[in-house]
Amino acid sequence: QEISSSQVKTKIKKNSLRILSAVIQSVRHWSQYAYKTALLFEVLGTLDSAVTSGAYGAKNFLLRDGKETLPCVFYEIDRELPRLIRGRVHRCMGTYDAKRNIFKCVSVRPATAQEQNTFQDFVKIADVEMTAYVKTMNEM
């Protein structure tokens, strides 16, 4: 059946998931807007704790970049957390729960050298995009 062009527009224009590369500070900052558009973060940071086990298959650890630290959790539901080495840079994909100050990871692995080299660029790109987005949101 046919769909009117305005329906197509709303379907296309609807706020959809964004994946942002972010330093810990910007994870906290952009999470304020997670109620407006779904956000998933890519964070690169140094593992700064042992990996400890919690309830419901949780694995807890701390990620650090500069002075900021981010408590992380990974639930071993359908796969195990790979062996992580303290002091190495890891790449975590996940969402941030501001109330509990915890970063829920869906994927954790060591970051490649190339990823580390380009990470700041992607953070900058995401920051510019989100700044512009938030500005248009506030204008509406």
Partner 1 sequence: TPCLFIINYYYYYFPDIGTERYTFNFTIRDSPTYFINVQSWGREEYIRSLSESFRVGDCVTIQNPLIQSKEAEREEKFNPVTPSGYKLLLSENHSVVKTSSCYDTDTRLLSLLHLPVKNPQDYYSLGDIVANGQSLHGRVLNLLAAVMAVGEPKYFMTSDKRKGQRCEVKLYDETERSFPILCWDNESIQLAQSWIPQETVIFASDVRINFDKFRNCMTATVISKTIITTNPETAEANVLFSFIKETAQAGALPSPVKELANETINLEAVVDVYTVEQLKEKALQSEGKLEPLHGIIYGYISTLDIDETTACLESSNTCTFCSDVPPEARATFASFDILVDVTDHTGTLHSCYLSDCVAEETLGCTVTSSPNWRSGLKVNLLSCKLADPVEASQSFLGRDWNYS
Note the residues at the interface with partner 1 (CB under 8 A): 1-3, 5, 8-9, 11-13, 15-21, 37, 40, 114-115, 117-118, 121-122, 124-126, 128-130, 133
Q: How far is the CB of 28 from partner 1 (least distance, A)?
A: 17
Q: How far is the CB of 128 from partner 1 (least distance, A)?
A: 5
The closest alpha carbon to 119, from 56, 49, 65, belongs to 65
Q: How far is the CB of 140 from partner 1 (least distance, A)?
A: 16
Q: How far is the CB of 115 from partner 1 (least distance, A)?
A: 6
The CA R_g of the chain, rounded to the nearest whole Å, is 17
Q: How far is the CB of 136 from partner 1 (least distance, A)?
A: 11
Residue 62 or 123 having the CB closest to partner 1: 123
Residue 15 or 52 having the CB closest to partner 1: 15
Residue 53 or 117 having the CB closest to partner 1: 117
CA-CA distance, 137 to 99, in Å (whole number)? Answer: 23
The closest alpha carbon to 104, from 113, 117, 95, belongs to 95
Residue 37 or 49 having the CB closest to partner 1: 37
Residue 15 or 53 having the CB closest to partner 1: 15
